[in-house]
Copies of this chain bind each other. A is one copy, B any other.
Amino acid sequence: MNRPDILSSGEPEIDAITAQCFVRFEEAFGTRGFAWDVQAQIMSLGKAVEIGKGQSATIFSDEDSLVFLAEGACKLVAWAALDRAQVLSFHFAGDLVSVPARAEHEYGLIALTPSQILSFPTRRFLQAVNEESKLLVELHRRTDAALAECRNDSVGLGRKTAQERVARLLMQMAGRIGVASDNEVLIELPMSRGDIADSLGLTIETVSRQFGELRDAGLIETGGRSGVRVLDPEALLQRAGPTGPHA
């Protein structure tokens, strides 16, 4: 997919993807009111691209990146080894994802559905917005929320049974991308069983068996590969296990 220069002589030509990504970004972070030069810096740092299903979104290979997901759904993956992937999180439109260049493991942000993303090199981005403390506070808020989320997931990975993990993921997805209709929730899962397994620290087979058990128990119905109808959210939440030390 070719992209025309986003900066060019005369009036800057901007392609549709770039334009749309920045509009969404401005909406999410309220950068519209920023000083002119800060806005210009942000625009020159951000690279907008469209990526197809299964494609990786790593842009800045030797630098930490900050990726804004304008449209679509992605998974953040770390590899413990070539054959041991761990899905760290699923992301949807509006999310800001912090992607390390390379830490103890190699990371990748991979599209589950065709997605539009806007990538910034973290360090230079922070320098650019250095004086816009509102954005810094929002950035901290989101990172802190991601940390809290990651910690919640840690509890799941360390201390929950296969069924509790699957039930919890379904409830999370119900809340994130589910469509409610009188005490039922319809979910269209953008990720495969393999992705779910990799995110829960299980195998494909175990995930499948848990789907089966939940179906046999009458808590969910499945339609095709990606359709899930939660028939009894209450009971499903029960199976996700306890959520605190309250008794």
Contact status A155-B243, CB under 8 Å: no
Identify which of A28-36, A146-154, A219-227 touches chain B.
A146-154
A160 at the interface (CB under 8 A from B): yes
The segment out of A12-20, A50-58, A131-139 that lies at the interface is A131-139
A243 cross-chain contacts in B, Cβ below 8 A: 80, 104-105
B residues less than 8 Å from A245 (CB atoms): 79, 81-82, 106
Count of A interface residues, CB-CB < 8 Å? 55
Highest count of chain B CB atoms <10 Å: which of A106, A143, A242: A143
Using Cβ atoms and an 8 Å threshold, which residues of chain B touch A81? 241-242, 244-245
A158's nearest neighbour on chain B, judged by CB, is: B201
Q: Which residue from B150, B158, B200 sits with its C-beta under 8 Å from A86?
A: B158
Taken together as a complex, chains A and B put the C-alpha atoms of A101 and B130 apart, in Å, by 29
- Taking a contact as CB atoms under 8 Å apart, the answer to whether B155 and A98 are in contact is no
CB pair B143–A247 under 8 Å, yes or no, is no
The A66-96 residues at the B interface (CB cut-off 8 A) are: 76, 78-82, 84-86, 88
Binding site for B on A (CB under 8 A): 64, 76, 78-82, 84-86, 88, 98, 100, 102-106, 122, 126, 130-133, 136-137, 139-140, 143-144, 146-148, 150-160, 198-201, 241-247
Chain multiplicity (copies): 2
A195 nearest CB across to chain B (Å): 13
Return the chain B residue nearest A81 by Cβ.
B242
A–B Cβ pairs within 8 angstroms, 20 of them: A78-B152, A78-B155, A80-B155, A80-B160, A80-B243, A81-B241, A81-B244, A102-B244, A103-B151, A103-B152, A104-B244, A105-B152, A105-B244, A136-B137, A143-B143, A146-B147, A147-B147, A150-B150, A158-B200, A158-B201
Measured CA separation A152–B76 after assembly (Å): 12
Residues of B within 8 A of A148 (CB): 98, 100, 103
How far is it, in angstroms, between the C-alpha of A245 and the C-alpha of B56 when the chains are bound? 15
